[in-house]
Structure formats: structure tokens, C-alpha cells
Structure 1
Amino acid sequence: MKILILLLVILSVVRCKTPEARYPVSQNSGSYIDESVERNKEMIAKEEDYIKQVMGENTDTEYLSSADGFWYYYNNKSTDSTNTRTPEFGDMVVFDYSISTIEGETIYAEGDKPTREYSMDKEKLFTGLRQGLKLMKEGETVTFLFPSHKAFGYYGDKEKIGSNVPITAKVTLHEIKEESELETNN
């Protein structure tokens, strides 16, 4: 009987033990992420230096720098003093664009991509083009020089543009339809 009681006491003590946390076999310090960040910073700096070099070789063109990290120049700038409106969130814009390498080799020629209707910031569009459209007025044609992280980035466009390729995009903005106009027409 004493053995049975002793066995019950031992079993109850063993069963009441709280579970212990399991620890991973290996631990990472986050150094891979830090290395990746450094590689990306170096790549962006090299791309930007190269774009600046190309711009420096073309002294006839007046390049402007955007606050969003790309450069551009006007092929056709609006001189109409009444044409001051740029697209805002929700506006529908109608535009055409072509894409080439920074060196000028055509990737998508004018007409390769159909005229596009785009609802500002409500649809998918690569970052640089979305930000560039916000700088334009109706009737203007602007050429943008985008580092790869403002263009198609690591994945490319899965057709003609590869991984981490800086590009030039020539964009013509045909029309801006205000969001309020679109709501009254529907």
C-alpha cells in the first residue's frame, strides 16, 4: 500500500510539471537582412550615379529632380496659364507611354502599349510612373528617368524588362477627368 501511495505522489508531481519552452536549434542575428539592405543601398547609389552620368552627357536637356527620387524633362510643356491642374487621388487619367533603357534602346515603342485609362492611386501601376503622372498637366509629354526601384524593381515586368533595370519612360498625358465628374456621370 505504501508503494502505491508513493507511486501516486510521484505521478502527481511529474504530471504537475509545467511545460518548458522549446528553443530553436539555431538562431539568426538578422545579419542577412542588414547585408541585403547594404547591397540594395549600393545598387541604388550605382544606378543613380550612372543616370547622372548619362544626364551629364546630354547638356542640351534641362533635367529636373523630383522629390520622389527620379529625374525628368519636358518634351512638350503646357504654356496655357489656365491649364494648371495636375491629377489627384481618384481622378481618371488617359495617357500613352513608351519605355526604353537609360541608354535609349527601345523596350516598348510608342503604340506597343495601348492608351491607358488609370484611376489615380486606385489601380496598380509601377511606382515611378504613378508619381510622375502627378507632376503632369493635360497635353504635356514628359520623359522620366527611373532607377530600378522606382520602375519594375527586382522582378522586372516578366516580359521584356529584367531584374533591377533602370528605365526611361516617355509619357503623354491626354486627359484628366476629375473624380467628381466621374461620380456624376455614373
Structure 2
Amino acid sequence: MKKILFLSVLAMLGCNRKAPEVHPPVGGVLSQNDLDISKNRMKNLNTLERQQIQDWITGQNIKFYPTQLNYWTNAEGFDQRPRRQNESLISYSYELYDFDQTKIYDQPVARNNARFGHFDELKAVENALRYMKDGEEVTLLVPSSLAYGTYGDENKIDNDIPLIIKLKVL
């Protein structure tokens, strides 16, 4: 009986604690102030990365050209070409590098008979594939916002990392 009484008192004391602070879940509703802070952070990060990429381009022997979607490619007039439409099929592969030109993954990412409008890919890769010719290879310089963004790939690519992507249409 004494044990039951002791456990009851102990349980009541444990329940008397102040409730922990509640935080919204990931993906929860944010205030306008939080949204503004996030927007300004991304704007500043994008400006910084664009300048760093531009400085990197200056030190290269190959010319790179900006595209309308905010990445660079080594193909002049790239996004002025005819554009592949949704539902068309494409097979491709690409390799990822950091700006020290270190290959991130040993094996390339490859997709066969992917259908535009139905595959989930990096924004810059999907956009570039729409303008590429069969058998063509291009190099893309991609700011983090068009790569793996603020979360990374949860494996080898950290958050906010711009990438060099060597893309080939098979």
C-alpha cells in the first residue's frame, strides 16, 4: 500500500510540471515575418552564389552563358532553341560536382524514357533537358536554389551548395 501511495504522489508531482513550448511542425504555418526573413535570406544567398559562380567562370578557359532560369551553361543561345514539349520521352544521365570540381557520387544519375511533366528532377536539369539535342552534352553551373536547396539531398550534398552538373542526353 505504501508503494502505491508513493508512486501516486510521484506521478502527481510529475504531472505538475509546466507544459513544454509548442512549435509548429515542419511545413507548418509561418507568420509573415518568418516568410519575409526566409525570402530575404534566399535573395541574399542567391546574390552571393551568383557572384561566386561568376568569379569561378572568370578563371575558366571555357565560356559559360547565363540562361533565363538563373543557371549557366557552356552552350551559347541555349534557351533560345526549340523546346521539348510535355509528354515527350527522353533518356539522360548526369554527374554532380562541387565547385572544387570534385565528383560527388561515383555513379551518374541516369533515367531512361522519362516523360516530361511526369518526372521529378532538379529544376535546372529538367529545364536544360528541354533545350538539348539528342546525343548532346552540356555543363550546367547551378545555384543551390535550383539544385538541392536548403535541405541538401540528405546524403552527400549539404544544404545551400551550388553544383556543377555534367548532363548528357542519351
With the length of structure 1 as denominator, give the TM-score of the two structures: 0.67
Give the equivalent residue in structure 1 for 2:5: none
Aligned ranges 1:133-144 → 2 under 5 Å: 133-144=129-140
Deviation at 1:158, TM superposition (A): 1.7
1:101 counterpart residue number: 98
- RMSD across aligned positions (CA): 2.1
Rg comparison, structure with higher value: 1
What fraction of aligned residue pairs are identical, expressed as a percent? 22
**CA-CA distance at 1:157 after TM superposition:** 1.4
Pair 1:116–1:104, CA change in 2 (3 A): farther
Instruction: Give the number of equivalent residue pairs.
Output: 137
Residue 90 of structure 1 pairs with residue 93 of structure 2: no
Q: Secondary structure at the match of 2:37?
A: helix
Q: Which residue of 2 aligns with 1:70?
A: 71
Counterpart for residue 150 of structure 2? 154
1:5-24 matched pairs, under 5 angstroms: none
1:128 equivalent in structure 2:
124
Deviation at 1:29, TM superposition (A): 6.9
> Which 5+ residue runs of structure 1 have no aligned equivalent?
1-27, 78-83, 175-186
| Alpha-carbon distance between aligned partners in 1 of 2:96 and 2:155, rounded to the nearest angstrom | 13
Amino acid at match of 1:96: S
- Equivalent residue, structure 1, for 2:12: none
1 CA distance for matches of 2:103 and 2:157?
A: 11
1:42 offset after TM fit, Å? 0.5
Counterpart mapping for 1:28-47 below 5 A: 30-47=32-49
In 1, Cα distance between the equivalents of 2:43 and 2:165?
Answer: 23
1:144-165: per-residue Cα shift (whole Å, max 9, x none)? 0100011111121122111111
Rounded to whole Å, the distance in 2 between the matches of 1:31 and 1:43 is 18
Question: How far did residue 166 of structure 1 move?
Answer: 0.5
User: Would you say the 8 A contact 2:91–2:169 is kept in 1?
Assistant: yes
List gaps (5 residues or longer) in structure 2.
Answer: 1-29
